[in-house]
Amino acid sequence: MGHDTHVQAKSKKQFEYDRHHNAMHMRKQVINFAIMIFLTFVAFAVVVADFSPYFIKPVILLLAGIQVVLQLYSFMHMDDKKASHMGVIATFVWSGVLIIFPVFLTFVTIIWW
Amino acid sequence: MSSVAVSNKKGFGATLWDYLTTVDHKKLGVMYLFAGTLFFAIAGFEALLMRIQLMIPNNDFVSAGTFNELLTMHGTTMLFLAATPLLFGFMNAIVPLQIGARDVAFPFLNSLGFWLFFLGAIFLHLSFFLGGAPDAGWTNYASLALYSPGHGIDFYVLGLQISGAGTLISGINFIVTIITMRAPGMTFMRMPLFTWTTLISSTLILFAFPPLTVGLFFMLVDRMFGANFFDHTMGGNTIIWEHLFWIFGHPEVYILVLPAFGLFSEIIPVFARKRLFGYSSMVFATILIGFLGFMVWAHHMFTTGLGATANAIFAVATMAIAVPTGMKVFNWIMTIWGGSVKVTVPMLYALGFIPSFVAGGVTGVMQAAAPLDYQLHDSYFIVAHFHYVIVGGIVTAIFGSMHFYWPIMFNRALNEKLGVLTFWIFFIGFHLTFFLQHFLGLMGMPRRVFTFQADQGWDLFNFISSIGAIMMAIGVVLLVINIIITAKSKPLNCRDYWGDGRSLEWAIKTPVPFYNFKQTPLIRGFDPYWLEKHDGNKEGMIYAEPLGDIHMPNNSILPLVMSIGTFIAAFGALYHPDGVAWSIPVIIIGLGITVASMILRSVKDDLGYHVHVEEVIATEEHLYGKGGNK
C-alpha cells in the first residue's frame, strides 16, 4: 500500500467545505455525548429518588436501550450511510439484537433459582 | 516469481509442505473433505458397534460404559467433526468459484480455521487412548457431565473449544467473502442458492457459536477450578447448560442442513434442466429458517418443566419453521416437474432426499406439539427423527455433491455405475435402520440404553435395524472404493462435465488453476454460465477486465503452528486438576507458541505476490494446451 500514496493539495473551497463538515460533525458528537451523560444522570437520579422498583426497572431498561442506539449510531458511526456495506452491517447488528432478545427474555423469566 | 517455467512434478516432501502451508481455498476444500471423511468413517464405525450391541437382547458385545462413550463420540463426531467439515469442504471448493472470486477474503484465516478444527478433532479423539472418551452424550448435560469420572468430559470441552474456534473463524471468513468479493454484476439476487445458504449458515455460525463457547467455558471452570455455575447445591443451576447448549444446538442443525439445501438447489436444476423454481422465495425461506432457528431452542427442553406458557410459545414457533421448509420442498418439486430429468447419481440422491427429509420434518412437527413430546421424549422416536433429518437431508447432500462436484474438485469423475449401487444399498439400509426405530420409540424403547430385555416386542425391529446399519456401512465402503478407483482414472480436462451446468463454477475448465478465473468474469444474470452458453459464447464467460497481473496470497505455516500451540496448551489444562507439576508450564508454553506466531504474523508484513501475465499464459498452456482456457 505504501508505494501508492498520492499527495494532493486541497483547494481553498475544499478546505472550507471540510472544515465546516468537521465542525458540524464535532457539534453532533458533543451533543450526543451530552445527551448520554444526561441520560446516565437520569438513571442515577431515579434510583436515588427512591421511586418504586416497578418504575425504576423499566425506565432504566428504556434508557439503556436509547444509550445503545446512540452509541451505535453516533460513536460507532452507523449513521454514516456512505461507508461501504453499511446496510449489511446494520442488518447484522439488528439481527443479532433480534436473536438475542428472546434469549435474554428466557433467562430472566423461565430459569428458576 | 517472474520465471515463466511452470513446474509439474513435486516430491513427496514438497507436496506435504505445500498442503501444510497452503492458503488456497481449493486445497483447503480438499483437506476439509478428507478430514471430514476420516471422522465420518470413525463415527460411522462407532455407530456400527452400537447397532451390533443392540442387535439381540441382553447382548454383551460392549459394556455399558463403553456404549456411553460410543454414543457420545458418535454424536459429537458426526455433528462437529464430520458433517461440518464435509460441508465446509464444498463451501471452500465451490463458493469462491460460484461468485467469481480469486480466493476467500482471508486466506490465512481459512487455513487457521482448518487447522484449529483438525487439531481440536484429533485432541478429542485422543481421549480413547488417554483414559476414556466423554460419556455424557453429545449434549453433555451438566447434571451428568459434572460427575463423570476421568478426563472424558475435559477432552470434550477442550476439543470442542478449539475446533469451535476454527468453525467460527471459517464462518466469519465466508460472510466477508460473499458480501465483498462477488464478481461485477453478481448482485445478491443473482447469487446461486449454495452461496446464499453458505452466507446464511455462516451467519448462524457467527451468532450460535458464542453461546456454545460460553457454555463450554462455564463447564471447564466448573470441572477444573470447582466453580459452581451448574451445581444446584452451591446456588448454580444445571438447566443453564441446557439452555446455552440448545441456543447453540438448534441453530447448529440449520447450520448443517441449510448448505445441504443449497447443494440440492444446485443439483436439481442442472439435472431437471430447468431454472430453479421460485428463486426469490427460496432465498426468503432460507433467511426465515435462519431467524426462526434461534427462536425455538427450548423445544428440546419441553420436559424440563419450563411451564405451560413457555412450552406453548416454543411449540408454536417450532411449527412455524415447517412453513419456509415446506416452501423449499415445493420449489424443488416444481423445479423437477416438467423438466427433462436426467437421473444421474447426484440426481438420484436428490430424489431420495426429498421424501426422506419430508418424513424427518413431519416427525419434527409431531414433536413440536409439547403434549405429545412428553410421550416421545428420550425414546427411539427422537433417534429416528433426527437421523431422518441428518442422514436423509445432510448425508445424502454430501454424497450426492461428492459425485456432482468431484469433476471440479479433482478433475476426475466418480464411477456412475458404482455410484448407483452405492446409492441403493445406502438408501435402503438407511430406511431399514431408522424407519422401524419410530415404532420402537412408540413402543417405549428409551434412547441411549446399552441393552434391552427380550420379549417386549422390540427384538425383531432392533435386529432389522442393525441389518440396515450394516448395509449403510457397506454403502460407505463402496463410496470409498469408488473414490480410490477414481483416483487412478484419467483426468477429464473439460469444462461443464455434466453438460447442463448453470452457475459460474461450471464455466471454468478443469483442472482449475490456482488463481481460478484468469480474468474476473462479468455476470449478466442469474445462472450466468447458462446465459453465456445460450448466447453461443465458446469462451465460457465474458470478462470484466483485461488479462493482467494477478495478486495472490503467500503460503504460510503459521496457522498450523498457532493451532499446535492451542493443542499443547489444552493438554496442560486437561491434566491441571490432577495436580501435576507440569500443567501450568505446558499451558504457558502452548499459549506462548500461539501468541508468538500471532505477533510474528502481525509484525511481519505479508503483502502476497503477483502472478505476471506471461506466467498466467504459461500456466494456461501447461494446463489446457496451446491457446489456454478458451
What pLDDT band is residue A5 in, cutting at 50, 70 and 90? Answer: low
Structure confidence by residue, pLDDT tens digits, B227-266 = 899 988 888 899 999 999 999 999 999 999 999 999 999 9
Max avg pLDDT among A68-82, B328-342, B612-626: B328-342
In one-letter notation, the amino acid at residue A86 is: M
User: What does the pLDDT average to over B114-136?
Assistant: 94
User: Which residues of chain B are within 8 Å of residue A92 when distances are taken between CB atoms?
Assistant: 203, 206
What pLDDT, on a 0 to 100 scale, did the predictor assign at position B582? 93
CA–CA gap between residue B579 and residue B43 (Å, rounded)? 33
Structure confidence by residue, pLDDT tens digits, A38-81 = 999 999 999 999 899 999 999 999 999 999 999 998 888 888 88
From A56-70, B90-104, B226-240, B615-629, the region with the lowest mean pLDDT: B615-629
Subunit contact B291:A95, Cβ cutoff 8 A: yes
CA–CA gap between residue B608 and residue B551 (Å, rounded)? 7
Burial class (CB in 10 A: 0-12, 13-18, 19+), A55: exposed
Structure confidence by residue, pLDDT tens digits, B263-320 = 999 999 999 999 999 999 999 999 999 999 999 999 999 999 888 999 999 999 999 9
Contact B86/B59 with Cβ under 8 angstroms?
no
Burial class (CB in 10 A: 0-12, 13-18, 19+), B36: buried
Write the DSSP symbol of residue B240: H
Nearest neighbour of B179 by CB, restricted to A88, A111, A112: A88
Domain assignment present for residue B78? The answer is yes
CA–CA gap between residue B168 and residue B165 (Å, rounded)? 5
What pLDDT band is residue B629 in, cutting at 50, 70 and 90? Answer: low
Please name the residue ranges forming H helices in B77-106: 84-98
Structure confidence by residue, pLDDT tens digits, B146-157 = 988 889 999 999
B108 vs B606: which has the higher pLDDT: B108
Instruction: Using a CB–CB cutoff of 8 Å, tell me whether A108 touches chain B.
Output: no
Burial class (CB in 10 A: 0-12, 13-18, 19+), B441: buried
Please name the residue ranges forming H helices in B24-106: 25-53, 64-76, 84-98
What pLDDT, on a 0 to 100 scale, did the predictor assign at position A3? 58
Structure confidence by residue, pLDDT tens digits, B466-478 = 999 999 999 999 9
Phi, psi for B552 (deg, rounded to 5): -130, 150
Domain assignment present for residue B581? The answer is no
If you measure CA to CA, which chain A residue comes closest to B306? Answer: A110
Contact B504/B529 with Cβ under 8 angstroms?
yes
CA–CA gap between residue B70 and residue B114 (Å, rounded)? 25
ipTM for the predicted complex comes to 0.85
Write the DSSP symbol of residue B524: -
Domain assignment present for residue B293? The answer is yes
What pLDDT band is residue B606 in, cutting at 50, 70 and 90? Answer: confident
Structure confidence by residue, pLDDT tens digits, B571-605 = 999 998 888 899 999 999 999 999 999 999 999 88
Subunit contact B180:A92, Cβ cutoff 8 A: no
pLDDT, chain B, mean = 93
Q: What share of chain B is helix, strand, coil (3-state, %, to 5)?
A: 70, 0, 30
Task: Say which CATH number the domain at B386 has.
Answer: 1.20.210.10
What pLDDT, on a 0 to 100 scale, did the predictor assign at position A76? 86
B45 vs B11: which has the higher pLDDT: B45
Q: Is the pLDDT of residue B1 over 50?
A: no
What pLDDT band is residue B623 in, cutting at 50, 70 and 90? Answer: confident
What pLDDT, on a 0 to 100 scale, did the predictor assign at position B319? 95
What pLDDT, on a 0 to 100 scale, did the predictor assign at position B4? 52
CA pseudo-torsion sign B181, B184, B188, B194? negative
Grid cell digits, residue A37:
451523560
Q: Is the pLDDT of residue B630 over 70?
A: no
If you measure CA to CA, which chain B residue comes closest to A110? Answer: B306
What pLDDT, on a 0 to 100 scale, did the predictor assign at position A1? 43
If you measure CA to CA, which chain A residue comes closest to B247? Answer: A103
Instruction: Using a CB–CB cutoff of 8 Å, tell me whether B239 touches chain A.
Output: yes
Q: Report percent pLDDT > 70 for chain B.
A: 98
Subunit contact B295:A92, Cβ cutoff 8 A: no
User: What does the pLDDT average to over B116-139?
Assistant: 94
Instruction: Using a CB–CB cutoff of 8 Å, tell me whether A98 touches chain B.
Output: yes
What pLDDT, on a 0 to 100 scale, did the predictor assign at position B11? 85
Distance from CA of B221 to the nearest CA of A (A): 20
User: Which residues of chain A are within 8 Å of residue B294 when distances are taken between CB atoms?
Assistant: 99, 102-103
Domain count for chain B: 1
Q: Is the pLDDT of residue B163 over 50?
A: yes
Subunit contact A96:B298, Cβ cutoff 8 A: no
Nearest neighbour of B179 by CB, restricted to A85, A99, A112: A85
What pLDDT, on a 0 to 100 scale, did the predictor assign at position B417? 96
Contact B509/B541 with Cβ under 8 angstroms?
no
What pLDDT, on a 0 to 100 scale, did the predictor assign at position B539? 82
In one-letter notation, the amino acid at residue B620 is: E
Subunit contact B203:A106, Cβ cutoff 8 A: no
Contact B183/B95 with Cβ under 8 angstroms?
no
Instruction: Using a CB–CB cutoff of 8 Å, tell me whether A2 touches chain B.
Output: no
What pLDDT band is residue B101 in, cutting at 50, 70 and 90? Answer: very high
Residue B273, domain extent: 12-556+606-624
Phi, psi for B611 (deg, rounded to 5): -95, 120
Contact B76/B158 with Cβ under 8 angstroms?
no
Q: Is the pLDDT of residue A37 over 60?
A: yes
Structure confidence by residue, pLDDT tens digits, B165-185 = 999 999 999 999 999 999 999
What pLDDT band is residue B6 in, cutting at 50, 70 and 90? Answer: low
Contact B397/B263 with Cβ under 8 angstroms?
yes
Structure confidence by residue, pLDDT tens digits, B540-575 = 889 999 999 999 999 999 999 999 999 999 999 999
User: Which residues of chain B are within 8 Å of residue A83 when distances are taken between CB atoms?
Assistant: none
Subunit contact A113:B237, Cβ cutoff 8 A: yes
Contact B275/B269 with Cβ under 8 angstroms?
yes
Structure confidence by residue, pLDDT tens digits, B483-535 = 999 999 999 888 899 999 999 999 999 899 999 999 999 999 999 999 999 99
Is residue B391 classed as helix, strand or coil in its secondary structure?
Answer: helix
Write the DSSP symbol of residue B523: P
Contact B421/B361 with Cβ under 8 angstroms?
no
Is residue B412 classed as helix, strand or coil in its secondary structure?
Answer: coil
What pLDDT, on a 0 to 100 scale, did the predictor assign at position B526? 92
User: Which residues of chain B are within 8 Å of residue A99 when distances are taken between CB atoms?
Assistant: 207, 291, 294-295
What pLDDT, on a 0 to 100 scale, did the predictor assign at position B10? 77
Distance from CA of B235 to the nearest CA of A (A): 8
What pLDDT, on a 0 to 100 scale, did the predictor assign at position B2? 42
User: What does the pLDDT average to over B57-81?
Assistant: 95
